[in-house]
Amino acid sequence: MAFELPPLGYDYASLEPHVDAMTMNIHHTKHHQAYINNLNGALDKFPELKDLGIVDINKAVGTDKLPAEVATVIRNNGGGHYNHTFFWKVMTNPSNTNGPSGAVKEAIETAFGSVDEMKTKFNAAAAGRFGSGWAWLGVKADGSLAISSTPNQDNPLMSSLPDTAAMTPILGLDVWEHAYYLKYQNRRPEYIAAWWNVVNWEQVTANFEAAKAGSVPL
């Protein structure tokens, strides 16, 4: 079955003024759609891979499960599809975001000392990613939380890749320029700081609970 562009759970203007409507429209309908088109094109060459879901495709990156002919295309575009599908869900209208609570807040405080300290370290990972990439908050195998950064469209599910911290993502931020340049130009730190105003902490909590139960949230 071919992958399709998932609908957003909100309007393109819902994240204003922190993420502008034009960026959201282009990001969703052009950039994300292009990853899907390219991924489907690669999978057409190897129909036996079409039974894999997007999570399993990402976990197969860096292994011999992916034919060499399409391994890089699948890595880039399968990663792009998973990352963006995940990204849309961890954002919401600013009026709906109240910060972490419950078990996920407790886990953040245990791992980092405070929510503010977690944000500081996350911001540093996002701002310090040279070129294009992502910053992640995730659950490690021992159940604790950690922060990592990946280049391009890589993600923590691709644990077979060198220098990729294996964990299950519960929050992720796109720091490719197309995610912020129309509004913030080269001011990536300003975009990162503003983005916390649209984080969907209810979804992050659900992702945390899924990860703790051994599932990969999507």
Domains within the chain, CATH numbers bracketed: 21-89 (1.10.287.990), 94-212 (3.55.40.20)
Tell me the pTM: 0.96
Closest CA to 178 of 97, 84, 85: 84
Q: Which 3 state secondary structure label does DSSP give 151?
A: strand
Residue ranges of the binding site for Mn(2+): 27, 84, 174, 178
Closest CA to 211 of 178, 167, 149, 161: 167
Residue 1, pLDDT above cutoff 80 = no
What does the pLDDT read at residue 173?
98
Residue ranges of the binding site: 27, 84, 174, 178
C-beta separation of 195 from 19 below 8 A: yes
CA 128 vs CA 49, 120, 192: distances in Å: 35, 12, 11
Find the mean pLDDT for residues 45-50: 90
C-beta separation of 88 from 31 below 8 A: no
**52-71 confidence digits (pLDDT tens):** 999 999 999 999 999 999 99
C-beta separation of 103 from 145 below 8 A: no
C-beta separation of 61 from 39 below 8 A: no
